[in-house]
Chain A
Amino acid sequence: MELFFQLVITGIVIGSIYALLALGFTLIYKATDVVNFAQGELLLVGAYICLHTTVTYNVPFIAAFFLTLVFTFLMGFCIEKIFLRRMIGEPIISIIMLTIGLSSVLRAIVTIIWGTDTLTFPEVFSQAPIVVFGLSISQVYIYSIFAVAIFLGLFTIFFKKSKVGVAMRAVASDQQAALSMGIDVKRIFALSWAIAAVVSAVGGIFLANINGVNTSLSHFGLKVFPVVILGGLDSIIGAIVGGLIIGILENLAGGYIDPLIGGGAKELFPFVIMIVVLMIKPYGLFGTVEVEKV
């Protein structure tokens, strides 16, 4: 039973990071119709930047964390302006190719600068586990869950209450109508990329604190697909539910099935779920068929 709870807790930590990634992915997809295959590389860059700032320049972790957010915000903004802006109106397949190209380029840049060895943060969070209900949980897990929850909460408020957040959803809903009320659609596109890069970086930084960083961390980007298929593209709640379900199930699979078959189940599981869900409900479990009324 102890194993079960440990696996579930790890699943929640990883799943909450999936939720962040899914939020970024959904944001770009809904606002700009771009399927972003470089989501995992945004995470990777964020993790390396924060690690580099902390280790090389001896900046305190908290400061490095926020500096990284500023940097990745600008990076996301520029990626949209430089690469995706001129692709507006081009065939979807070309745009997908562009984001795949972008993912390779980002990964290559990271490899050139930081190499392929796994790098680790200095001890940011105390190694001493905290014992909750007889389960010992490492501190970084707890910080990670709280940080992710705070970010998701902030974004929920931003999208519900702020003028710009509402405008972003308006653009996702009807671009021309949004334009008719003076909403600067191009700015919103760039902002979507900027926010997607920021949330990915947050995920990347915590993953790096848990396991260290190397380029394989970018594989997390692909997990976004089962998560959004499960949670739908409509809401932050969907992303959270989808993220947690995938995170928990893949860890359980890793803990119980992998020892029997010698590995692989953990990696495979999310995509099996994705395929099954797609066959039963093409809009995702929590996705809605568009509201339609004249």
Chain B
Amino acid sequence: MLNVNNIEVVYNDVILVLKGLSLHVEEGQVVALLGSNGAGKSTTLKAVSGLLRPDDGEITDGDITFMGERIDRKDAADIVKSGIFQVMEGRRVFKDLTVEENLIAGAYTQKSSTIKTNIDRVYHYFPRLQERRNQVAGYMSGGEQQMLAIGRALMASPRMVLMDEPSLGLSPLLVKEIFSIIKMMNEEEKTTILLVEQNANMALSASHYGYIMENGRIVLDGPSSELKENDDVKEFYLGVTGQKSFREVKHYRRRKRWLS
């Protein structure tokens, strides 16, 4: 469904952040993209959704296709229309708009006649948003804002949602809730999901396939169930101690492979 092919992304004409990154998302799946802070995860998502320009970033090499069509030269509005919707890092709700107005904004690319039914659908999944429909979004709690950000995505009925750290800064209980929502979107709404997370454990449990990136490149990928059992991943991303850098581990793993 989505093919990211060897892309390079440069910020401000000089800072090379993605250095030949490739990944593939199969229709109907949840794919996790993991990596430490600054690895380039958000940059990868913005490259797909066409949101690099406001950050003065640019794809300088490689290509991205979605449903067989090239999208790396399209602008953000056209990419949303083709069915990709990004839920940005930090929720980014419109703080001085009400909950319902935020949802209406999410439906900008949709026909006006569908807005009402989509709002009802979002309220069905998030009763708490319905209770607060006329409240200004800026005064809601972090968890509610995250639900609103996801609800806003549902309003566009996307085929694929890119989620950037939806669990960031939420309590363990809310993190669980967010992940169950992701599962629901995937299973009930048949939405394909590319999920960026720091919480590797949860993300690997919730996804079919995983990519691990470091320093602008993919360093490891595989079915999530296998990644969860992978010793290197365990050591660095699942909290089972860790002092060496991942590169050393990779090196060590390569050597191991070479030895065997």
Contact with B along A164-197 (1 / 0, CB 8 A): 0011011001111111111110000000000000
Most A CB within 10 A of own CB, among B88, B97, B105: B105
With A176-B51, A182-B81 known to touch, is A163 a contact of B94 (CB < 8 Å)?
no
Chain A residues with CB below 8 A from B251, complex form = none
Which of B20-28, B135-143, B224-232 interfaces with chain A? B135-143
Contact with A along B40-56 (1 / 0, CB 8 A): 00000000010100110
Within 8 A of A (CB), among B52-67: 54-55
The answer to whether A182 touches B96, judged by C-beta atoms less than 8 angstroms apart, is no
Chain B residues with a Cβ closer than 8 Å to the other chain, count? 38
The answer to whether A183 touches B108, judged by C-beta atoms less than 8 angstroms apart, is yes
The answer to whether A173 touches B152, judged by C-beta atoms less than 8 angstroms apart, is no
B109 close to A (CB within 8 Å): yes
Within 8 A of A (CB), among B87-122: 88, 92-97, 101-102, 104-109, 112, 115
The answer to whether B95 touches A181, judged by C-beta atoms less than 8 angstroms apart, is no
The answer to whether A174 touches B94, judged by C-beta atoms less than 8 angstroms apart, is yes
User: Which of B54, B97, B106 makes the CB contact (< 8 A) with A181?
Assistant: B106
Chain B residues with CB below 8 A from A160, complex form = 101
B76 close to A (CB within 8 Å): yes
Chain A residues with CB below 8 A from B97, complex form = 166, 169-170, 173
A292 close to B (CB within 8 Å): yes
The answer to whether B138 touches A292, judged by C-beta atoms less than 8 angstroms apart, is yes
The answer to whether A180 touches B108, judged by C-beta atoms less than 8 angstroms apart, is no
B85 close to A (CB within 8 Å): yes
User: Which of B49, B86, B92, B139 makes the CB contact (< 8 A) with A291?
Assistant: B139
A294 close to B (CB within 8 Å): yes
B220 close to A (CB within 8 Å): no
A252 to chain B, nearest CB (A): 34
Chain B residues with CB below 8 A from A170, complex form = 94, 97, 101-102, 105, 108
User: Which of B76, B102, B106, B169 makes the CB contact (< 8 A) with A294?
Assistant: B169
The answer to whether A176 touches B108, judged by C-beta atoms less than 8 angstroms apart, is no
B155 to chain A, nearest CB (A): 8
Bound CA span A170–B76, Å: 16
Chain A residues with a Cβ closer than 8 Å to the other chain, count? 25
Chain B residues with CB below 8 A from A173, complex form = 94-97
User: Which of A163, A180, A291 makes the CB contact (< 8 A) with B96?
Assistant: A291
The answer to whether B86 touches A180, judged by C-beta atoms less than 8 angstroms apart, is yes
Chain B residues with CB below 8 A from A177, complex form = 88, 92-94
The answer to whether B105 touches A166, judged by C-beta atoms less than 8 angstroms apart, is yes
Chain A residues with CB below 8 A from B88, complex form = 176-177, 180
Chain B residues with CB below 8 A from A184, complex form = 77
B180 to chain A, nearest CB (A): 23
B50 to chain A, nearest CB (A): 8
A211 to chain B, nearest CB (A): 38
The answer to whether A290 touches B95, judged by C-beta atoms less than 8 angstroms apart, is yes
Bound CA span A283–B80, Å: 36
The answer to whether B92 touches A182, judged by C-beta atoms less than 8 angstroms apart, is no
B87 to chain A, nearest CB (A): 8
Bound CA span A115–B107, Å: 49
Chain A residues with CB below 8 A from B108, complex form = 163, 167, 170, 181-183
With A173-B95, A177-B92 known to touch, is A182 a contact of B136 (CB < 8 Å)?
no
B156 close to A (CB within 8 Å): yes
Q: Which residues of B contact A (CB under 8 A)?
A: 49, 51, 54-55, 76-77, 79-81, 85-86, 88, 92-97, 101-102, 104-109, 112, 115, 136, 138-142, 145, 152, 156, 169
Q: Which residues of A contact B (CB under 8 A)?
A: 160, 163, 166-167, 169-170, 173-184, 234, 288, 290-294
Having A169-B96, A173-B97, one finds 12 other A-B pairs with CB under 8 Å, namely A170-B102, A173-B94, A174-B92, A174-B94, A175-B54, A177-B92, A179-B77, A180-B92, A181-B80, A181-B85, A183-B108, A291-B139
